[in-house]
Amino acid sequence: MVHVDIDLLNRSKAPRGELVLEPGCFTNWLGLKTDASMFASCEKIRDTIRPEIPSGGDGVYGGYAEYASFLTAIEQTPYRSSFTAIELGAGWGPWISGVGKVCQRMGFADIHLVGVEADEEKCALMRQHMARNGLAAKVIHAAAWHEDTMLKFPVIHRQDHGAAASTEPNAKDYRGIAQSYVDVPGLSLKTICEGPPVIDYMHWDIQGAELALAESHSELLNSRVRFLFIGTHSRPIEGGLIEFFFKHQWDVLLQHPCDFTYDRLKPEIAGMTTSDGEIFARNPRFFS
């Protein structure tokens, strides 16, 4: 487990004056105000303030490891001139908004945030979320993929955070849920990351495409990315990523396997996952 210094946690935490309510939202310990309607637990969390630093998980955004990952990346940045963070499968942009808030609080001069999301409604929600929290981000309506192409993406409810892009959609998705589909661009990392020479932090939650994305962009990752957090969606994917990082000599700071229930009636192994796994890795080329 990656542990964050308590002083850093306290410096990242929102001052009391920023822990304010906005109708229809909840406010977390970073001071981020988030539309509660995006979650199945909306009736429980709407119009609440959750000021505690999550020692396990916050029950909404994610677990301690995800907070620890971006805080570690910020803490281990040797300069305060700029910070670049990119979130793939961003949904409403929880992790780039967390990066943005903390970097603002720590006095970074230039903060570059990019959120890539395949669902058009969630892209709109991400723009609203950033504006609500005084942040600027580049929002890209697309799915992260191993190449630039056109893909299919399910038509989903805003509370569904587990849909996946595909090249040849079936009547039921990888989870066995009946779906209809729309066209969506699939973009390579080369296209998504065009511009900044260094990406300080990346967060991936791309529902089974993570290993293919890493393997097809090893050169870019090795030369330009400092820290990478990946939500994993099957045991085979996790094993492949561990092999990938070992082969390319990254430091794996944290790895926790996904939870799953074996069910041979599921269309894919990834559809058996009940809770995402986690891998957080550091590129030692930037720390020699």
**Residue labelled with tokens 């301690």:** 64
The tokens for 234 are 């099957």
β-pairing, 273-275 vs 251-256, is unpaired
β-bridge partners, 184: 151
Task: Say how far apart CA 103 and CA 135 lie, in whole Å.
Answer: 11
Task: Say how far apart CA 65 and CA 2 lie, in whole Å.
Answer: 7
User: What tens-digit pLDDT sequence spans the chain (288 residues)?
Assistant: 577 777 778 888 899 888 999 999 999 999 999 999 999 989 999 999 988 877 777 778 877 889 999 999 999 998 889 999 999 999 999 999 999 999 999 999 999 999 999 999 999 999 999 999 999 999 999 999 999 999 999 998 898 888 888 998 887 888 888 789 999 999 999 999 999 999 999 999 998 999 999 999 999 999 999 999 999 999 999 999 999 999 999 999 999 998 889 999 888 888 888 888 999 999 999 997
pLDDT in tens, 172-189: 888 888 789 999 999 999
The tokens for 221 are 């990752």
Instruction: Count the alpha carbons within 13 Å of 282 in the hemisphere toward its beta carbon.
Output: 18
Cβ atoms of 220 and 278 closer than 8 Å: no
Task: Say how far apart CA 254 and CA 260 lie, in whole Å.
Answer: 19
Ramachandran region of residue 134, left (φ > 0), alpha (ψ -120 to 50) or beta? Answer: left
Instruction: Count the alpha carbons within 13 Å of 32 in the hemisphere toward its beta carbon.
Output: 28
Task: Say how far apart CA 79 and CA 108 lie, in whole Å.
Answer: 8
pLDDT in tens, 240-257: 999 999 999 999 999 999
Rounded to 10°, the helix 64-75/94-105 angle is 40
pLDDT in tens, 64-88: 889 999 999 999 998 889 999 999 9
Give the amino acid at 171. A
Task: Say how far apart CA 236 and CA 117 lie, in whole Å.
Answer: 24
Residues in CB range of 79: below 8 A, 6 or more apart: none
Strand, helix or coil at 7?
Answer: helix
Instruction: Write the DSSP assignment of 146-214 as a string of letters.
Output: SSSEEEEEE---TT------BSS--SB-TTS-B--EEEEEEE-HHHHT-S-S-EEEEEE--TT-HHHHH
Q: For 59-286, CATH number?
A: 3.40.50.150
Residue 96 pLDDT: 98
